[in-house]
């Protein structure tokens, strides 16, 4: 009977503890934690920094960059440089009749470029631009990718430029590892006469004229088709740019047509395509001044070929420098923009000196 007080005391303590436990509220996640996980978006900005001589500027960190999103300064979360961040490069080689004057030399120089710029952790994917996009080889190391480039054969077919650039961007978006530097290098004049959107516009124009007049005049038919194609090309340009931005890819281009691109409106539009893609993604549209190699004087052709070779080598060397100077600047944006909205970005150096910075001009919101 003497043990009862002790038992009663134990029951009281147990009951009190159980009651206190039941009344203790479950901790809820902090609001700032919820925002980071649910509402913030990771924005990736490939940035290249070179000095006044075009040499890569290395060893930059978070404090060296400033990011402005729609007028609001953002806090840089991380910066990866080319020494440690893998490079995923898609090389697009135009095999259509419009770019075959220096075809073999372009192949040799492009193959050498891949071997010079790529490290063992890097991968290259090869596409050809012809009547349709063709994946020649996917995500190979430098040696195998160079062989693939050398084995590409020219054709005399049409050119689906827009479709190929968009497919290459989609390939990188889907297959390139997260956190890699994604680059598209295009060797083309940028002209397009066979992408799906262009063909569809042409057929639509033909039906429009045929439906209105049983025996249409060819002049009128050509005018309608031309107008439909021009409208479609502008629409395709927008689609390609969005695909590049969605892939976080930087677009570079080398136009083998050189200064002769000004000879017709189609060529001018093609160069404008590549200039816009490069400018808005942080790349460069190279337009070399090639000398003619099809004159009646064999000696002149030989001399011009050597000069053109040096010009092309210089371009690939500059491109390699830009890739060696490339950083991956990342930040979290908590701004509430609707899906599909294009958000403007401005990236600068906190201490610019005489250095030159290239970066993308914005991104499309993906929620």
What is the domain partition of the chain in residue ranges? 42-82+334-367, 86-324
SS3 of the chain: the string is CCCHHHHHHHHHHHHHHHHHHHHCCCCCCCHHHHHHHHHCEEEEEEEEEECCCCCECCCCCHHHEEEEECCEEECEEEEEECCCCCEEEEEEEECCHHHCCCHHHHHHHHHHHHHHHCCCCCEEEEEEECCCCEEEEEEECHHHHHHHHHCCCCCCCCCCHHHHHHHHHHHHHHHCCCCCEEEEEEECCCCCCCCHHHHHHHHHHHHHHHHHCCCCCHHHHHHHHHHHHHHHHHHHHHHHHHHHHHCCEEEEEECCCHHHHHHCHHHHHHHHHHHHHHHHHCCCEECCCCCCCCCCCHHHHHHHHHHHHHHHHHHHHHHHHHHHCEEEEEEEECCCCCCCCEEEEEEEECCCCCCEEEECCEEECCC
Whole-number pLDDT of residue 193: 87
Q: What is the pLDDT of residue 35?
A: 43
Rounded Cα distance between 289 and 187, Å, is 15
Tell me the per-residue pLDDT of 123-139, one tens digit each, with 9 for 90 and over. 999 999 999 999 999 99
Count of residues making up the chain:
367
The predicted-structure confidence for 172-221, as pLDDT tens digits, reads as follows 999 999 999 999 999 999 999 889 988 887 787 677 666 666 555 656 66
Q: Which two tokens stand for residue 162?
A: 């827009």
Alpha carbons within 13 angstroms on the beta-carbon side of residue 87 total 28
Angle (nearest 5°) at CA 364 between 47 and 285: 45
In angstroms, the CA 46 to CA 183 distance is 9
**CA atoms within 13 A of residue 304's CA, in its CB half-sphere:** 15
> Cα(128)–Cα(185) distance, rounded to whole angstroms?
12
What is the C-alpha separation between 236 and 160, in angstroms, rounded? Answer: 11
Closest by Cα among 235, 271, 276 to 360: 276
pLDDT at 2: 47
pLDDT digit string, tens, across residues 46-58 = 999 999 999 999 9
**Predicted pLDDT of residue 27:** 56
CA distances, 163 to each of 196, 267, 274 (Å): 7, 18, 14
Q: Are 185 and 284 in contact (CB under 8 A)?
A: no
Phi–psi pair at 222, nearest 5 degrees: -65, -40
Q: How far apart are CA 110 and CA 357, in angstroms?
A: 25
One pLDDT digit (tens) per residue for the chain, 367 residues: 444 455 454 444 445 444 444 454 555 555 445 444 445 789 999 999 999 999 999 999 999 999 999 999 999 999 999 989 999 999 999 998 665 667 888 999 999 999 999 999 999 999 999 999 999 999 999 999 999 999 999 988 899 999 999 999 999 999 999 999 999 999 999 999 889 988 887 787 677 666 666 555 656 666 766 777 778 888 999 999 999 999 999 999 999 887 666 667 788 889 999 999 999 999 999 998 888 888 899 999 899 889 988 999 999 999 999 999 999 999 999 888 999 999 999 999 999 988 999 999 999 998 6
Q: What is the pTM of this model?
A: 0.84
d(CA 65, CA 192): 38
Classified by CATH at the fold level, domain 86-324 comes out as Rossmann fold (3.40.50)
- What pLDDT is attached to residue 18? 47
CA distance 173 to 158: 27
């Amino acid at each position: 009977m003497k043990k009862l007080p002790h038992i009663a005391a134990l029951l009281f303590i147990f009951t009190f503890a159980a009651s206190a436990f039941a009344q203790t509220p479950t901790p809820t996640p902090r609001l700032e934690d919820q925002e980071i996980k649910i509402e913030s978006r990771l924005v990736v900005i490939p940035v290249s920094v070179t000095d006044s001589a075009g040499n890569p500027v290395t060893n930059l960190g978070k404090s060296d960059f400033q990011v402005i999103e729609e007028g609001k300064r953002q806090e840089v979360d991380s910066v990866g440089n080319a020494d440690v961040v893998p490079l995923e490069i898609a090389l697009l080689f135009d095999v259509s009749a419009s770019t075959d004057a220096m075809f073999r030399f372009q192949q040799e120089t492009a193959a050498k470029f891949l071997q010079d710029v790529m490290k063992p952790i890097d991968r290259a994917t090869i596409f050809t631009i012809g009547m349709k996009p063709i994946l020649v080889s996917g995500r190979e190391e430098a040696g195998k990718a160079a062989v693939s480039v050398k084995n590409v054969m020219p054709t005399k077919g049409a050119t689906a430029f827009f479709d190929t650039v968009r497919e290459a961007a989609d390939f990188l978006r889907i297959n390139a590892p997260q956190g890699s530097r994604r680059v598209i290098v295009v060797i083309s004049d940028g002209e397009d006469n066979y992408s799906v959107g262009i063909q569809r516009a042409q057929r639509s124009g033909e039906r429009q004229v045929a439906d209105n007049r049983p025996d249409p005049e060819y002049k009128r038919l050509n005018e309608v088709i031309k107008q439909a194609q021009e409208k479609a090309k502008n629409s395709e340009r927008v689609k390609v740019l969005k695909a590049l931005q969605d892939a976080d890819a930087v677009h570079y281009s080398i136009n083998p047509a050189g200064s002769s691109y000004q000879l017709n409106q189609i060529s001018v539009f093609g160069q404008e395509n590549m200039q816009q893609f490069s400018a808005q993604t942080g790349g460069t549209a190279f337009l070399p001044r090639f000398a003619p190699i099809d004159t009646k004087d064999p000696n002149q052709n030989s001399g011009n070929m050597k000069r053109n070779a040096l010009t092309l080598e210089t371009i690939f060397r500059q491109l390699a420098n830009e890739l060696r100077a490339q950083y991956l600047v990342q930040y979290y944006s908590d701004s509430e923009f609707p899906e599909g909205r294009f958000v403007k970005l401005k990236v600068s150096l906190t201490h610019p000196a005489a250095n030159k910075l290239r970066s993308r001009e914005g991104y499309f919101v993906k929620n």
